[in-house]
Amino acid sequence: MGEQANAIAARRHWMSVLARASHDALASHLASCAALPAHSLLRGPETGLVMVRGRAGGDGAPFNLGETTVTRCTVRLAGGQIGHAYALGRDPAQAELAALLDAALQHPAHASELLARVVEPLAQAQAAARDAVLAKAAATRVEFLAMQTTR
């Protein structure tokens, strides 16, 4: 995998984690980090609706499931790094903080500290929460056995 592909995969990972994290979780993990650089808003934060699509059975024909509220924001650091964020819900502070973190993570001076103190702990907490939900669902799983009658 090339260097650019690695950078894209890393950014995809941290943007996914930041999008799912609440503002309180982001702020509490940032408390132990150095101050984030100054930024200016390029767009938003603004809230709107997006259409959520589903698939019957997970792989069937797509259908419109409904709409959900999303807040987006784009910021620029003084060094020129641009950060984007989309977050479910109506929390403009969450979207702005996630966009600021996206931009700061692209800056070499901030990336290693933010990955170690913010992104990875949040990713581990999100994975643990997902595993807990899966374990709870697995505990209620019922397996049906087909019985064959013999003559």
Q: What is the pLDDT of residue 147?
A: 65
* Max intra-chain CA distance, the chain: 82
The reported pTM is 0.82
> How far is Cα 44 from Cα 56, in angstroms, rounded to an integer?
35
> If you count DSSP H runs as helices and E runs as strands, how many of each does the chain have, helices first?
5, 3
End-to-end CA distance of the chain: 61
- pLDDT of 7 reads 86
Residue 37 in contact with residue 77, Cβ under 8 Å? Answer: yes
Beta-bridged to residue 101, according to DSSP, are: none
Q: Is the N-terminal amide bond of 92 cis, ω within 30° of 0?
A: no
Residue 62 reports pLDDT greater than 80: yes
pLDDT, residue 150, reads 67
- Give the model's confidence band at 34: pLDDT under 50 very low, under 70 low, under 90 confident, else very high: confident
